[in-house]
Structure 1
């Protein structure tokens, strides 16, 4: 450490801590009325439980940290102001971090967010979610932490996560689950089963979980808007193609003879058919999540 002209500087300091290796360089400047700092941290093979339990900074960067068991690599660059006790004033901290999870086990019960999601999304067992080798790019400024979008996969379900949270523990995240219809219950499958076409087996729909609240008291609201629209569109297109293959007469009987009738009549009939189907899809999906709400009383629509 070099101390000179009211500044304390660390250069390439290293240590073994939390069952891993820490490299640190930084500067504290006490000349300004409010002391400032900047710092670079390199953490290699850190034990997640130990490091996140003892370092407030890491706790603030990862809302689900308490649910993770395993190892972590991360590099962090940050700067900001110090308070009267020479601790970082989190509301002034800015910087970025790149984190990589190594061998990791998830214990959802230890993180309120995962616990709530697990209670309400019955097609995913969050204990079996594979986070190994997951890399996340994080930036933070003015007390807010932004997570760049990243992708996960659970069996045949693709998941995209993005959002922000605050050093005040507030949450604002979206998780989009691209869900094959086989996971959405018997009512959905009865609906698509009415269409005699193998293409329906390949349909998946986006189910969005909007996550708010705080680290300790999160909220989840499901947004089915895009899912209803996409499923309706796919079912209509499959049915239209099937009818086209059967010929002009079949199309005329069921969809208003879209090849021969005037454009306005065809449009009206097709739109009416699509509207009725969309209403059916929405009712089925709404009922699916209303049942969950009755059982758990935690997801709001």
Structure 2
């Protein structure tokens, strides 16, 4: 039988809330939930609680939302909860050394990659961007470095050739909670041997940017297609077409060639655009102010936007 632990949970988005739900359903006791302060959201810019806070309040759990943990007051408040362990999942605030060392079992983090590959802010997206064939969830003991702590558990999953960040996020959000509970139970019973990371195999998953989503047609079709999937649902790859910005939702690589950005053909099967290497057949896209649409719907009234010979990425009227 597992010895119940007193747990502080720290997290903010839906991905974290799914892990909190698993802890709520376990035999362990949650003594406090930390989440980012409420943020303005929506057209009215009203303050909105995070998914983690909303779930915690539903279950009458004490919620803490400090702006920072780097002061004596925050440390005193946290240590007063007398937790055995802190679980951190996509929290968004840095935990100083004093807090990392406060619980007797330290702090665990759920990270969306197979460490030491893709340390950093965007591991799910960068795995698709790089063409990785698999990824997973690593449960690690936190230290002062960036995702550098000893590994306690790894769960793996394949990355399909049609995977988007949204679909892979869902897979890992289902994989992570079970891995977390298994790890906590083994840790409570002294059944885990931490495994140090090999720093020589590490790389960094930098944040995505809107600038990076602006399609550079001189790239290979293979890389652009990966970008389209890895930047979905944010920031979404886009290009200039018909004098406006159009988001690209789906495309596939074609073994054709031409000047980068040049439209080679346009019909019900897709808009074929030459890239630095090979070509890309766009099959779903989204004009400004419209919902994503299949190529047939797009061509109704917009076929002049994609006349063969047109160069995308320019402000063509």
**TM range, smaller chain:** under 0.3
Q: TM-score, normalised by structure 1?
A: 0.24
Of structures 1 and 2, the one with the larger relative CO (CA 8 A, separation 6+) is: 2
Identify the structure with the greater helix proportion.
1
Over alpha carbons, which structure has the higher Rg?
A: 1
